[in-house]
Structure 1
Amino acid sequence: MTINAVLLAVAIMLGLSLARVHVVLSLLIGALAGGLIAGLGMTDTLNAFQEGIKNGAQIALSYALLGAFAVAIAHSGLPQSLAGAVIKRIDAGGTSGMIKYMLFAGLVTMSCFSQNLIPIHIAFIPLLVPPLLLAFNRMQIDRRLIACLITFGLVTTYMFIPYGFGDIYLNQIMLKNVGEAGIDVANISVTKAMAIPALGMLVGLLIAVFISYRKPRQYQQLAIDKEARDAVVEGDALSKTAATAQIQSKMKTIVALIAIVTAFVVQLYTDSLLLGSMFGFGVF
């Protein structure tokens, strides 16, 4: 029975791959099918799947599937909708300090979420930032400050919070390598240890916002920046010209949100970014 389960699992994986299903998703579905056919429960099958991926392969698979997850989110139009909403708010409210700091907070939040809640890492930057460049120019924001805001959210989150990419870096790479070097890590709180550099990142962010890059800075209005901005605004306007297009746009957004929540819940339940991204991508 076990041999038949293995053969069926391989056959399912190959069949899905030939049907152009993402290869990592095909691998998971084949493994789940093989475990269930062999009489293992869902939890035992998932544990066996994770334990069978060793020596960095789990990290490689995580990054491979997260790339597909990022592309799926991009096709949903959710990042473009967020950029469009910000642009409209800026167009309606001018260049007040409140809007500027709300924009700063939004960039930091999105950067943090990209490490755990929406685990797409840096893939959100080319989706969200280019349409906002004209808005940055209008408010005369120093682009070095934008780089500091994004860097703070990306780095501090995974170096301090042990979820998503933080789990990969803190537990699967750093703590594991320290343990393999012969140091006892049984009673070490990696979060407390990394709080020191995380606080350093926070101090650096505050210095960048209120001291180093607070002065207005002017940039040339490039045609490519205008095209990126107009593409988002016009795309949002076109989606509202027909009821069917509007419904489709809303459905894509709803599916994207469900997939994001699914990925995060599965990640918390299984303690595996790989499985979380697989299930999130499977929703799409």
Structure 2
Amino acid sequence: MLDLLNPVILSVLTLVVLSLLRVNVVIALLIAAVVGGLTGGLSLEGTFDTMIEGLGGQGETALSYILLGTLAVMVARSGLTRKLIRRVMPLLRGPRAVVLFAIAGLACFSQNLVPVHIAFIPILIPPLLAAFDRMKIDRRGVAVALTFGLKAPYLIVPLGFGLIFQGIIVDSMEDHGMEISLGQIPLAMAFPVAAMAVGLSFAILVTYRKNREYEPGKPLAGTDGSPLELLDSQEELRWTRQDVAVLLGLAVTLVLQLVYGSLVMAALAGVVVIFLLRGERWTDGDPIVDRGVGMMGTIAFIMLVASGYATVLTETGSVDDLVSSAAGWIGDSQILAAVVMMAVGLLVTMGIGTSFGTVPVLAAIFVPLAAAVGFSPLATAALIGSAGALGDAGAPASDSTLGPTSGLNADGQHHHIWDTCVPTFLHYNVLIFAGGIVAALVL
């Protein structure tokens, strides 16, 4: 029988409840880690030691967030922000639904065509808040659109991050005795992605179609004015050396990210290029970095703590115990097997915080189990891929939610849990859950 007192279940429920009660995410993660560690057999001291040892697991991601924040501040300090606002605003005069679908489509390119993942959000989205506010767009709809673009492509398109994710599914299944080709994975993931598309459409056309007003006058991170003030400014926008230097810095960042696959290296190079080209003075480095840390530091620190939290859950062995207990409870029922596998995937992903890292954990038990109850390799891939992706959209410490929040909260008017995590969880994870089950039973 599924152990409802498993440390993973208790810890994840603690994290979710505290987050919904608006407890700071960092504090919620720390308390949830203590719950997971103590119920998993670790001492209090051992729990914190394990968590601290695991902080480095997301060190590169956290550092890249800080450097992206610094780069975003440089963009905001230049004239590029105003130029972008002036250029984009005439294009955003159509129906709000069209704008939100366009944002989702643009975000999709960040996973394959130009695989920069969330790097574009803190640079592109803050300037667009002016247009969103003028159109009275509900930013929760924008969060849902961005998260669709950050998740759906890697589930179904075998390019960029999708090639990595789908390759992990293939390798994990083959490691445990079930053969499947990479070309079959998109078909296996078609049902979950279609479910996500339904969730996106419902969010845009129904849930968040009404006007939502935001407080005017809130300064945009890195600038001294609110989005609407920047939009309404009559200042003549000429190209300056600073604008050109910042634009070249962004180009260098993009190219190096594509060539080397290191966002830290790429963002640092972009920042250095801007300084070398005198887009910013070296003596202004302190206030620029301070603003960058203020913009992205909290999110970077959340990623570090989330890494330590995942290490605690892994160290206790509770994740393996949860998967094993689920396997013993299923019997030979395909429907029950599909439901339990998806539920375990949701819990594990909410705890570990990464769909990419969840797949190998689930495959170890779920591949033999799927074979035992008669699932085909295609159905098994659909279950493992969907279960691995579950939770990523609504997890408080996932980059699929932290990324949208980093851009939409640039003026302090977007709550991470209630405006990003809850909307994305309701519109995606519930439907992915159903889509994965349907795929398993049909394929």
**TM-score of the aligned structures, taking structure 1 as reference length:** 0.55
Q: Which residue of 2 is the match for residue 97 of structure 1?
A: 94
Q: Which residue of 2 is the match for residue 229 of structure 1?
A: 227
Q: Which residue of 2 is the match for residue 88 of structure 1?
A: 86
Inter-CA distance 138–255: structure 2 relative to 1 (3 Å threshold)? closer
Residue identity matched to 1:219: Y
Measured against aligned partners, the alpha-carbon deviations of 1:168-213 in whole angstroms (never above 9, x if no partner) come to 3221x33322222221124752122222212221222222222222
Q: Give the distance between the partners of 1:187 and 1:96, measured in 2 at CA.
A: 42
Measured against aligned partners, the alpha-carbon deviations of 1:147-177 in whole angstroms (never above 9, x if no partner) come to 1111111111221222222223221x33322
Residue identity matched to 2:126: P
Q: Which residue of 2 is the match for residue 203 of structure 1?
A: 198
Q: Which residue of 2 is the match for residue 77 of structure 1?
A: 75
Q: Give the distance between the partners of 2:159 and 2:217, measured in 1 at CA.
A: 39
Structure 2 residue aligned with 1:194, among 189, 194, 209?
189
Q: Give the distance between the partners of 1:137 and 1:251, measured in 2 at CA.
A: 29
The alpha-carbon deviation at position 120 of structure 1 amounts to: 3.4
Inter-CA distance 79–201: structure 2 relative to 1 (3 Å threshold)? farther
Structure 1 residue aligned with 2:154, among 158, 174, 182?
158
Q: Give the distance between the partners of 1:234 and 1:250, measured in 2 at CA.
A: 23
Deviates more, 1:127-136 or 1:146-155: 127-136
The alpha-carbon deviation at position 101 of structure 1 amounts to: 5.2
Residue identity matched to 2:154: Y
Q: Give the aligned CA root-mean-square deviation in angstroms.
A: 4.2
Q: Is 2:131 the partner of 1:135?
A: yes
Secondary structure in 2 aligned to 1:217? Answer: coil
Q: Give the distance between the partners of 2:69 and 2:86, measured in 1 at CA.
A: 25
Matched length: 210
Secondary structure in 1 aligned to 2:141? Answer: helix
Q: Give the distance between the partners of 1:64 and 1:162, measured in 2 at CA.
A: 26
Q: Which residue of 1 is the match for residue 121 of structure 2?
A: 125
Q: Which residue of 2 is the match for residue 249 of structure 1?
A: 243
Secondary structure in 1 aligned to 2:211? Answer: coil
Q: Give the distance between the partners of 1:277 and 1:126, measured in 2 at CA.
A: 17
Residue identity matched to 2:85: I
The alpha-carbon deviation at position 81 of structure 1 amounts to: 7.0
Secondary structure in 2 aligned to 1:145? Answer: helix
Contact 1:158-1:169 at 8 Å conserved across structures: yes
Secondary structure in 2 aligned to 1:129? Answer: helix
Deviates more, 1:212-221 or 1:196-205: 212-221
Q: Which residue of 2 is the match for residue 183 of structure 1?
A: 178
Secondary structure in 2 aligned to 1:184? Answer: coil
Mark the runs of 5 or more structure 1 residues left unpaired by the alignment: 1-58, 267-274
Q: Which residue of 1 is the match for residue 144 of structure 2?
A: 148
Inter-CA distance 187–75: structure 2 relative to 1 (3 Å threshold)? closer
Q: Give the distance between the partners of 1:115 and 1:96, measured in 2 at CA.
A: 27
Measured against aligned partners, the alpha-carbon deviations of 1:68-98 in whole angstroms (never above 9, x if no partner) come to 884686477399877544532466x497325
Residue identity matched to 1:249: D
Q: Which residue of 2 is the match for residue 3 of structure 1?
A: none
Mark the runs of 5 or more structure 2 residues left unpaired by the alignment: 1-56, 271-443
Inter-CA distance 232–121: structure 2 relative to 1 (3 Å threshold)? farther
Percent of aligned positions that are identical: 31
Inter-CA distance 283–177: structure 2 relative to 1 (3 Å threshold)? same
Q: Give the distance between the partners of 1:139 and 1:259, measured in 2 at CA.
A: 31
The alpha-carbon deviation at position 228 of structure 1 amounts to: 4.9
Q: Give the distance between the partners of 1:280 and 1:180, measured in 2 at CA.
A: 34
Q: Which residue of 2 is the match for residue 217 of structure 1?
A: 212
Any residues of structure 2 matched to 1:16-55 within 5 Å, and which? none
**TM-score of the aligned structures, taking structure 2 as reference length:** 0.38
Contact 1:116-1:164 at 8 Å conserved across structures: yes
Inter-CA distance 166–232: structure 2 relative to 1 (3 Å threshold)? farther
Q: Give the distance between the partners of 2:101 and 2:171, measured in 1 at CA.
A: 34
Residue identity matched to 2:129: L
Structure 2 residue aligned with 1:113, among 109, 112, 117?
109
Residue identity matched to 2:193: A
Q: Give the distance between the partners of 1:134 and 1:234, measured in 2 at CA.
A: 9
Inter-CA distance 186–101: structure 2 relative to 1 (3 Å threshold)? closer
Contact 2:154-2:165 at 8 Å conserved across structures: yes
Residue identity matched to 1:176: D
Contact 1:80-1:127 at 8 Å conserved across structures: no
The alpha-carbon deviation at position 111 of structure 1 amounts to: 1.7
